[in-house]
Each structure stands twice: as structure tokens, then as C-alpha cells.
Amino acid sequence: MFVFDVHLDLSLNAIEYNRDLRRSAREIREIEAGMTDLKGRGLGTVAFPEMREAGIGLCVATQLAGCMKPAGPVGSWNSPEQAHAMTQAQLAWYRAMEDVGELRQVRDWPEMEAHLEAWHADPAHAPIGYLLSLEGADSLRTLADLESSWKQGLRALGPAHYGKGRYALGHDQEGPLSEQGRELLREMDRLGLILDATHLCDQTFWQAIDLFQGPVWASHHNCRALVDDPRQLADEQIKALADRGAVIGIAFDVWMVVPGWERGVTTHADKPEANLEALADHVDHYCQLLGTSANVGIGTDLDGGYGSEQTPAGLDFISDLRDFRATLERRGYSHDDLEGIFHKNFLDFLKKAWT
């Protein structure tokens, strides 16, 4: 199974969690045993060996450093200059992983074709391909930084994360797109970046979709019809994204999978129904609403500031993605449907966007 996971916070885990992702996630758990400084300590699910076990030969890997208020325990800084410095540290880690043959950056369609050929020829040894994405635009000191980031390989950008950002409001806020945010979208259009609609509050979502002329995706989102929260996509948003040719990545953060999960409080013992079957319900909803599986992909967001305490039951490591595919297969999804969901839909999106 070849998997394209379109949302992994690899550099956040490497730099802020101080995890050497060349070790297995199992080893990292042992190293972190007893640590309590950050959420998810000793419960990590993602590292390069487990990604390879899952068949993840390609991912969208983030830079993540914001100035949003209220601030979170990681990824939050008190000035754009500090946030920018963190994104450059994260980029330096990606480059270091390229140097040792673990990762390979993909910036255009010819590079994608070369990577896919190399991966399928020798998946045990080929580097894992990655596209660079920026989650939240706060670290852009001015719009001049965006062109510099494009030259560094940045190919997708989500203007907001959570809270009040410098360019856009996160999903937990209410309000319009600022003029600074409008200028950001115009510059993204000029450069040819992909707009990631994830984390935008509702009013900003609709304004951004209307203003931005380029390719749009939603890297890690589930359905508001099943879990009623502004972090989720409403049916009207899902249809609007599909009309734009977007693909939506299914997210594996369990509070987005079942209603009533309180982060840091609810456990799997409290909600045994919070499992891979419940996650498959979101895939079903997308496909039934749109009448096709062509707009659905995988954007796990695993280890996105949490660990296995907040994943669906049945998924202890990212390598357990194989079990999610089996869950969908049991529901009657065809081979072509599954190939689309696990890699082809997002690849087709990129081929169109880049050619």
C-alpha cells in the first residue's frame, strides 16, 4: 500500500519535542517514559520506521510557528521574528534529513515523478518524499518572506491555525478576513501556492475561497455533521471545496472523530466507540454527500501536539493505517476507491495544480 499523508508535523516533533525520528516510535516512547512536560509524551505514534511500515512514501510536512493568541504550549511565540526563526530551524532539520537520505523534497511535478519512480523501485531504501507546507502564516514577518519561502520549497500554506493570528482568524474565532490576509492570498496566487483551507473560521473560509483564484485543499478535516464543532467542515463547505476541485484529508485526532470527547479528560475506556469504524463514518459522509470518493484523502495529523491517548482505538502507531484501509475495504470500498483515498486523489490534484 502506497500512502500519501498530507499533514504531518514532523519538524515540530523533531525540534520542539526533541525526537530523533530516525529511531522507531517505539524506542522514542521508551526514551520519554516518565516525561510530562508536553502533551503526548511517551505516546508518540510517528517516526520514519513506522511511516515506512505504513507505506507512507510521500507526505506534506509542516513548518509550524505562530504568534496567535491565546498561545499554546508549542508552536507559539511572542513575536514574528521568533516565529520566523523557528520555521528556519525546522527547515534546517528537513535539510539535515535530506542530507542523511531520510527525506527528499518535492517541489514540482517532474520532481514528483522522479520521486515516485525511485520509491516504487526500492521502497525500503528510497527517501520519503515531502512537500513543505506552512501551518499558520504568523511567521511571515512581511510578505517578502513568502517569496523567500517559495524559493526554499514552500508549496502550500494555511493562513490560520487557531486563535487570533496575524493574517487570519482560526477556527475558534469569528470574523472577516483582514486586509493583511487579503494581501497574503493575492501574493499566494502570484507565486502559485496551494491554499490550505484548514483551520479558517467560517466567515474567513468563505471570503478566502471567493478571493483566492489558485488551487485549494483542506489537508486535515472531518465532518461537522458528525461532530458539531467549528473545527469541522460543514456540508456547504465540503460541497464548495469539491466544486473547486479540492481534496480533503481525513484527520485522525479523535476529538474530531466522535462527539463529546474532551481533550485531556476523556479516555478510550470512556468512549470505546471512538475507533477506526467511527473514523470511517467520516469517509462515508464525504463520499455520500458528494457522490464520489474522488475528493477524499488522508491527512492524519498524528503527533500534532498529542499522542496515542488521542487517536482512534485500533491505531497505536501510524503503521496501523493498514488497519484503516482494511476497515474501509470491509465497508465495500473498491480497490480504485482505496487507491484514490490513500494516495491517488491528492496526486491527481497536484498534477493538475503543477502542470
Residue-level pLDDT at 73? 85
Mean pLDDT calculated for residue range 140-157: 98
Residue-level pLDDT at 79? 97
C-alpha 170/C-alpha 198 separation (Å) is: 9
Domain range for 159? 3-354
C-alpha 158/C-alpha 155 separation (Å) is: 11
Residue 107 scores a pLDDT above 90: yes
Mean pLDDT calculated for residue range 225-250: 98
Q: How many domains does the chain have?
A: 1
Q: Among 40, 47, 22, which Cα is nearest to 102's?
A: 22
**Percent of the chain scored above 90 by pLDDT?**
98
Tens of pLDDT, residue by residue over 186-201, are: 999 999 999 999 999 9
DSSP code, position 127? P
Mean pLDDT calculated for residue range 151-176: 96
Tens of pLDDT, residue by residue over 285-309, are: 999 999 999 999 999 999 999 999 9
Tens of pLDDT, residue by residue over 325-354, are: 999 999 999 999 999 999 999 999 999 999
**172-190: buried (b, 16+ CB within 10 Å) or exposed (e) per residue?**
bbeeebbeebbebbebbee
Angle (nearest 5°) at CA 244 between 243 and 246: 105
Residue 170 scores a pLDDT above 90: yes
DSSP code, position 310? G
Residue-level pLDDT at 72? 84
Domain CATH number, residue 8: 3.20.20.140
